[in-house]
A and B are shown apart, each in its own frame.
Chain A
Amino acid sequence: MPEHQVRSIPARAPARRARRAERLVVRGALGVLIAGSIAFVVLPILALILQLPVDALPRVFSDPVVVDALLLSLATATVSTAIVLMAMTPIAYVTARYAFPGRELVETLMDLPIVLPPAVAGLGLLLAFGRFGLVGQYLSVFGVSLAFTPVAVVMAQVFVASPFYLRQARTSFAELDPVYEAAARTLGASRLYVFLHVTVPLTIEGLVSGTIMTFARALGEFGATILFAGNLQGRTQTMPLAIYSTMQSDLQASCALALVLVAISFGVIAAVRVTGRRRRAA
Chain B
Amino acid sequence: MPLEALLVRELRDFVLDLRVAVDEGETLALLGVNGSGKTTVLNLLAGLLRPDGGRIALHGRVLFDAGQRIDMPTEDRRVGLVFQDYALFPHLSVRDNVAFGLRARRTDRRELGDRVDRELEAFGLADHADVPASRLSGGERQRVALARAVAVEPELLLLDEPFAALDVRSRPPLRRELRETIRRIRVPAVLVTHSIADVRACADRVSVIQRGRQVLDTTPDTLLESAIGHEWHETAGSPGRAPTG
B125 proximal to A (CB < 8 A): no
Pair A187/B90 contact, Cβ less than 8 Å: no
Pair B104/A189 contact, Cβ less than 8 Å: yes
Shortest CB–CB separation between residue B35 and chain A, in angstroms? Answer: 18
B49: nearest chain-A partner, CB-CB: A182
Given the interface contacts A179-B83, A198-B89, A202-B91, does A186 sit within 8 Å of B74 by beta carbon?
yes
B: contact size bracket: 20 to 34
CB-CB < 8 A to B89: which residues of A?
Answer: 180, 183-184, 198, 202
Pair A185/B75 contact, Cβ less than 8 Å: yes
CB-CB < 8 A to B55: which residues of A?
Answer: none
Given the interface contacts A188-B105, A190-B104, A193-B104, does A183 sit within 8 Å of B87 by beta carbon?
yes
A10 proximal to B (CB < 8 A): no
A277 proximal to B (CB < 8 A): no
Could you tell me the distance between the alpha carbons of A179 and B87 in the complex, rounded to whole angstroms? Answer: 6
Could you tell me the distance between the alpha carbons of A201 and B74 in the complex, rounded to whole angstroms? Answer: 22
CB-CB < 8 A to B148: which residues of A?
Answer: 187
Interchain Cβ contacts within 8 Å, total number = 65
Shortest CB–CB separation between residue B80 and chain A, in angstroms? Answer: 6
Q: Which of A122-173 contact B (CB under 8 A)?
A: none
Q: Which of B97-113 contact A (CB under 8 A)?
A: 100-101, 103-105
Pair B101/A188 contact, Cβ less than 8 Å: yes
Pair B91/A185 contact, Cβ less than 8 Å: no
Could you tell me the distance between the alpha carbons of A201 and B134 in the complex, rounded to whole angstroms? Answer: 14
Shortest CB–CB separation between residue A215 and chain B, in angstroms? Answer: 25
Binding site for A on B (CB under 8 A): 46-48, 73-81, 83, 85, 87, 89-91, 100-101, 103-105, 148-149, 152
12 more CB-based (< 8 A) A-B contacts, given A182-B81, A184-B104: A180-B90, A183-B87, A186-B48, A186-B79, A186-B80, A187-B80, A187-B148, A188-B105, A189-B100, A193-B104, A197-B100, A202-B91
Could you pull out 9 A-B pairs where Cβ atoms are within 8 angstroms? A179-B85, A183-B87, A183-B89, A186-B77, A187-B80, A187-B148, A188-B105, A198-B89, A202-B90
